[in-house]
Every structure is written in structure tokens, then in C-alpha cells.
Amino acid sequence: MARRTRRIIFFSFAILAGLAAGMIFGWEVMPVQYKDTGSDTLRQDYKTDYVLMVAELYEHEVDDAMAMERLAYISPEPPLETVQAAIAYAEKNDYSSSDLQLMLNLAFAMEEFSATGISEGMS
Amino acid sequence: MTTSEDTQKINPRSPQPKKRSAWYLLTGMVLGFALGLMYTWWINPVVYESSDPSSMREDYKDTYRSTIAQVYAVTGNLDRAARRLELLEDESLIYSLGAQAQRALAEGKEELAHDLALLASALQAGSAEPTMIPIATTTATSEAVPTQTLPPLTPVP
């Protein structure tokens, strides 16, 4: 094999080895750190706890609009979907029945509120 | 003619191929490493979809803290409120609540300020170490927001 060709092959392998090392370093050893994240990136268990807080407040305030505003804080999704996701997580992780009931009440209220909003919009 | 030139003439070295160094391999590795970093840090960085409350921006933390205080005001569950506050990893839970209460009061949100102060007081009463609440003082400190005093606290039913 010509000397020049061999050098080009070795050079290419060196680049590939460096690339692999760089990717391991950039993804595993020292990945990009996000320090100022938004609330919508919270892990599902934290989101569920937040929904539970909203449900606890809703139980006392019975303020649909305020509950919706609070739910918008953790997710751009429709409030009902956010609550349903939280309920699904809570059921899977054995939350207490009282906490589950609070979230179910909130879900029911959000469902009603959404339905009312849609029917008002159509009329 | 100098002596060294004579020596070169007398002992001419046979032309040998130059031995090339392996520096080009190191250059390739460095180049690849830089490309790898560029790809992983800028083009396709790690995306965090499961962050925790402590990594949130300060204004999001404030909203989170407010909600915890409001929930405490209606439920009176101090243990749960304390555990939730710990998720924010503030250096001092009581101080953070107090400082935020001051800000809320300055913005005219008296009810929220009350809830925050109520939780701060409850935590202070529950903690073994006496901690100074910045909002409880009438004189301003360098760190506390120098504004009004809070409305009187009412016990949680």
C-alpha cells in the first residue's frame, strides 16, 4: 500500500477516534447543563405533586379560572390533559385515595369548564 | 575550505527517506474531538425533559413557592409544605419565604404575602434552630426588602 494512502487511512481513523471521544465527553462526561429551566420541563412526579397542590387549592377556592391558570404554569397542554396525566401517574404510584380524589375532582371541574367554554364559543 | 565541508565530502551520507513523525495522528484526534464537542454541545446537546424544581429559573421558583404557601394556608399541612419547599433547595427556606413575602407585599399582594409569612413562621416555630425572618423586623436589613410590615398572622384552623 502506498505510504500516502496509509497515512490518509490512519488520519481518518484518528479523526474518528477523536470524534468518538469528543461525543462521549460532550454527552456523558460533561453534557450541557441547563440551570434556568422552565416549569414545563419538570419530571412527571413533580408535575403530579404540583397538580395535587392545584387540586388542594381548588377544593377550597372552587375557582376554575384560577385552577386553569395555575395548571398552565407547568404545561402548555390543555389543563384537562395535564390533570389526567397526573392522575395516571398517581394511580400507578399508589398515591393516597384522598389525594387521588382531589385530583379527580379537579379533572371533573376542568372537563366541565372546557365543555362549557366550547359550548359558549359555539353559541 | 573549512574542515566541516571536507568532512561532508569525505563521508557523504547515503540519501535515506525522511522518517515522518506521528503528529498527524494527534492532529486528527484533536480535530475529531473538537468536532465531537461541537456536535454534542451545539448541534445536538442533551435535552433535559425531566428537570427538578431546584433547576428552575427564579421567577418559576417564586410561583412554585407561592403555591406551596397558599396550599399550606388552606390545608395547614406543615410537613408536606416543608418537603415540597425542600425540592427548591434554597439555602434557607425561611429566609426565601420571608424575602418573597416582602416582595409580594411591595407589589400589593397582601394575601400572598400573608400566606408566605404564615408558612415562614410555622417553619421557624417548627425548626430547632432559631432563624431570623427578614420580614418580621420593622427595620430594614441590607438583604431584606425594606418596605412595610406584614399584616398580623392568623392561626391556621
pLDDT in tens, B75-116: 999 999 999 999 999 988 899 999 999 999 999 999 999 999
CA distance B126 to B85: 14
DSSP 3-state of B125: helix
B90 within domain boundaries: yes
Please tell me if residue A17 touches chain B, with a CB cutoff of 8 Å.
yes
Number of continuous H segments (helices) and E segments (strands) in chain B: 6, 0
Short-list B63, B80, B61, CA closest to B119: B80
Distance of alpha carbon B99 from alpha carbon B68, whole angstroms:
15
In this structure, is residue B65 part of a structural domain?
yes
SS3 call for A33: coil
Q: Is B100 part of any domain?
A: yes
Q: Which of B42, B56, B79, B84 to mutate to test the interface with A (most CBs of A within 10 A)?
A: B56
Q: Smallest Cβ distance to B32: which of A18, A49, A73?
A: A18
Higher-pLDDT residue of B16, B37: B37
B126 assigned to some structural domain: yes
Report the C-alpha gap between A37 and A74 in whole angstroms: 11
What is the reported pLDDT for A32?
73
CB contact under 8 Å between B30 and A23, yes or no, is: no
Give yes or no for a contact between B78 and B126, defined as CB atoms under 8 angstroms apart: yes
Please identify which residue in the block is written with the cell numbers 492532529. B27
Domain boundaries, given as residue ranges, for chain A: 1-33, 39-122
Inter-chain residue contact B56 with A39, CB threshold 8 Å: yes
Contact residues, chain A, for B63 at CB < 8 Å: 39, 73
User: pLDDT per residue over B28-70, tens digit each?
Assistant: 999 999 999 888 888 887 776 678 888 888 889 999 999 999 9
**Minimum distance, in Å, between the CA of residue A79 and any CA atom of chain B:** 17
Domain count, chain B: 1
B59 burial class (0-12, 13-18, 19+ CB within 10 angstroms)? exposed
Shortest CA gap A121–chain B (Å): 31
Tell me the whole-structure pTM to 2 decimals: 0.64
Residue A107 — pLDDT band, cuts 50, 70, 90? very high
B95: containing domain: 53-136
Average pLDDT, chain A: 86
CA of A119 vs chain B CAs: smallest distance (Å): 31
